[in-house]
DNA sequence: ATTCTGACA
DNA sequence: TGTCAGGA
């Protein structure tokens, strides 16, 4: 099938489908016209990509994770031994990101508390 | 009518 | 990620 049908079957925009390919997440073949040709398996792959993306994984990681997961209804099941370790590292990265954001919020809270009570007072 | 690449008021 | 241009 070409990109138009993929859009209908996955609900993902052409822009994103091309982007996923650019990131190495999909590898559709090409017609002599240059048009992309996807197979039925690609439809499932896109669903997995969406799941992994929703989990907050960067596309670079998804490229490695994709071939190591099996489909189990709505969620994905890891099948490679090293995958779980990789996922734990990603989880740590997220934990650190949360800590940094909380610190940033704290800084802002301090600045806000030290300023005028409301925006009205700042207007001149 | 569809899809492609490149680019960003 | 959307969207528009300009071409096939």
* Shortest-distance nucleotide from A35 CA to C1': B3
User: By the 8 A CB rule, do A116 and A123 touch?
Assistant: no
* Shortest-distance nucleotide from A36 CA to C1': B3
According to the model, what pLDDT value does residue A120 have? 62
Residue A46 CB partners (closer than 8 Å, separation 6+): A6, A10, A12, A17, A20, A26
Residue–nucleotide distance: A4 CA to C4 C1' (Å): 19
Mind listing the pLDDT tens digit for each residue in A52-73? 999 889 999 999 999 999 988 8
**Confidence check: pLDDT of A16 > 70:** yes
A83: closest CA among A93, A72, A70, A97? A70
> Is the CB of residue A26 inside 7 Å of nucleic acid strand B?
no
Q: Mean pLDDT for chain A?
A: 91
Taking CA atoms, A61 is separated from A1, A32, A78, in Å, by: 27, 32, 14
Give the residue-averaged pLDDT of A98-116: 93
């Amino acid at each position: 099938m070409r990109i138009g049908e993929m859009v209908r079957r996955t609900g993902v925009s052409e822009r994103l489908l091309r982007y996923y390919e650019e990131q190495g997440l999909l590898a559709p073949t090409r017609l002599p016209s240059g048009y992309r040709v996807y197979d039925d398996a690609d439809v499932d792959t896109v669903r997995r990509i969406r799941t992994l993306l929703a989990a907050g994984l960067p596309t670079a990681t998804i490229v490695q994770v994709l071939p190591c997961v099996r489909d189990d209804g709505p969620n994905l099941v890891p099948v490679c031994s090293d995958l779980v370790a990789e996922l734990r590292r990603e989880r740590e990265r997220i934990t650190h990101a949360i800590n940094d954001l909380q610190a940033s919020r704290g800084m802002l809270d301090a600045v806000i508390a030290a300023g005028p009570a409301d925006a009205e007072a700042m207007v001149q």
